[in-house]
Amino acid sequence: MFNNLTDKLDKALHVLKGHGSITEVNVAETLKEVRRALLDADVNFKIAKEFTNTVKEKALGQNVLTSLQPGQLMVKLVKDELTELMGGETAGLNLSGSPAVILMSGLQGSGKTTFSGKLANFLKTKKSKKPLLVACDIYRPAAINQLHVVGDQIGVEVYSEPENKNPVDIAQKAIAYAKQNGFNVVIVDTAGRLAIDEAMMTEIANVHGAINPQETLFVVDAMTGQDAVNTAKAFNDRLNFDGVVLTKLDGDTRGGAAISIKSVVDKPIKFIGTGEKMEAIDVFHPARMADRILGMGDVVSLVERAQEQFDEEEARKIQKKIAKNQFGFDDFLSQIQQVKKMGSMKDLVGMIPGAGKALKDVEIDDDAFKGIEAIIHSMTPQERTEPAVINGSRKKRIANGSGTSVQQVNQLLKQFDQMSKMMKMMQGGGGKKMMQMMGK
């Protein structure tokens, strides 16, 4: 996320970060570099200029030059200002109303349908809500199907009327249906066009007026930079929406949209999308995002994600198995699946302070687990619980079955063996033993 910007800001602030001499001249130079970094990230010119002016004023006001740690103070000022620019506080979702109605708006391809599913899943699993998804795209039958596929995937009902060509009518009937059937949140996915056009705006404005939603969210692809900001403005002028959803932040986004959108439309970013999977949704926290942009990682979110995904009961079971030396390949597989649910590897690495920078040129492959999973899937139940039985001919069979080589199978068996030994050691009061082994 935002690798380029992070890199450039880091370089800009580098001089001041050390304890070298700090003068009014190099503060000004640093801020010039900061401004350039923001412009390169596709932040609007005016916003970038205001940003550095504010930081400069604050820096002078706080006597950056004579403070004990001028570098750190500057980083803090930049961080605080970035946080402020992205909205300051975390904005919540208004779920009052029975049912609470959430209307999705945005261009086609922005990720509306995907996000509708993610939000329904989030509300169902994290907030114990009973959501209903509504397909209001009357132009593309494929869009209705897509929402049904998403709904099936997360176990959420989808309301659609493929023959009905009146989106206002569909939305109203869906809300009535939700009331009758005990749904407490209704998420209305609307049609999007490739570009803003009058007919589309009128249509969504009509739906908006008729159902009077608690939340109107504007979904936008972060990869589109300044265009994202312009589209947001056009939609906001018409719908006066309540919040923004920035999608595709897992890609090679420059960051301009995340930084500029709030100050242009004066509406908070409420959620971000960080992948195609249903779990790739995060509540947007301006301060944490500022940390990430400045390469400080986001440990809080990382720990939260781990806590959300890891099942305590499962963890206890695994611990018992390790203690009894019964940790097998099936357990390993379920651990891999849990880690995968936390998000893409690239995204996770970016949350570790310093790691994003250190590994920025390393290709992080999300398919790395695929080979491992294929190998395990090709094992018999006995082989999974007693890897010791895997002899030469079995290895050949497993390699053939999984489309890998005997060498890869060997490698996995060796790693698994080492891992099992290590786990055993950590269990049996062996923390000390392991430290000794590592020469500490």
Which positions touch ligand GDP (CB under 6 A)?
106, 108-114, 192, 247-248, 250-251, 273-276, 280
Whole-number Å distance between alpha carbons of 188 and 153: 18
Please state the φ and ψ torsions of residue 225, each to the nearest 5 degrees: 55, -125
Alpha helix stretches (DSSP H) within 136-248? 141-154, 167-180, 198-211, 226-239
What is the C-alpha end-to-end distance of the chain, expressed in Å? Answer: 36
431 assigned ligand-binding residue: no
- Compute the chain's Rg from CA coordinates: 26
Q: Are strands 281-283 and 269-273 parallel, antiparallel or unpaired?
A: antiparallel
In the bound complex, what is the minimum distance in angstroms from residue 411's beta carbon to ligand GDP? 30
Specify the residue, 59 or 135, whose C-beta has the smaller distance to ligand GDP. 135
73 assigned ligand-binding residue: no
In the bound complex, what is the minimum distance in angstroms from residue 116's beta carbon to ligand GDP? 8
In the bound complex, what is the minimum distance in angstroms from residue 291's beta carbon to ligand GDP? 20
112 assigned ligand-binding residue: yes
Specify the residue, 35 or 254, whose C-beta has the smaller distance to ligand GDP. 254
Element (H, E) at 247: strand 243-247
317 assigned ligand-binding residue: no
What residue type is assigned to position 50 of the chain? E
In the bound complex, what is the minimum distance in angstroms from residue 47's beta carbon to ligand GDP? 24
111 assigned ligand-binding residue: yes
In the bound complex, what is the minimum distance in angstroms from residue 250's beta carbon to ligand GDP? 5
Specify the residue, 110 or 260, whose C-beta has the smaller distance to ligand GDP. 110
In the bound complex, what is the minimum distance in angstroms from residue 133's beta carbon to ligand GDP? 12
* 189: β partners: 104, 135
Whole-number Å distance between alpha carbons of 146 and 114: 9
109 assigned ligand-binding residue: yes
**Helix-, strand-, coil-residue percentages of the chain, each rounded to 5:** 60, 10, 30
Specify the residue, 112 or 305, whose C-beta has the smaller distance to ligand GDP. 112
Specify the residue, 208 or 248, whose C-beta has the smaller distance to ligand GDP. 248
- Which residues, in sequence order, are CB contacts of 432 under 8 Å at separation 6+? none
113 assigned ligand-binding residue: yes
Specify the residue, 149 or 389, whose C-beta has the smaller distance to ligand GDP. 149
| Residue ranges of the binding site for GTP | 106-113, 189-193, 247-250
Question: Residues annotated in the binding site, as ranges?
Answer: 106-113, 189-193, 247-250
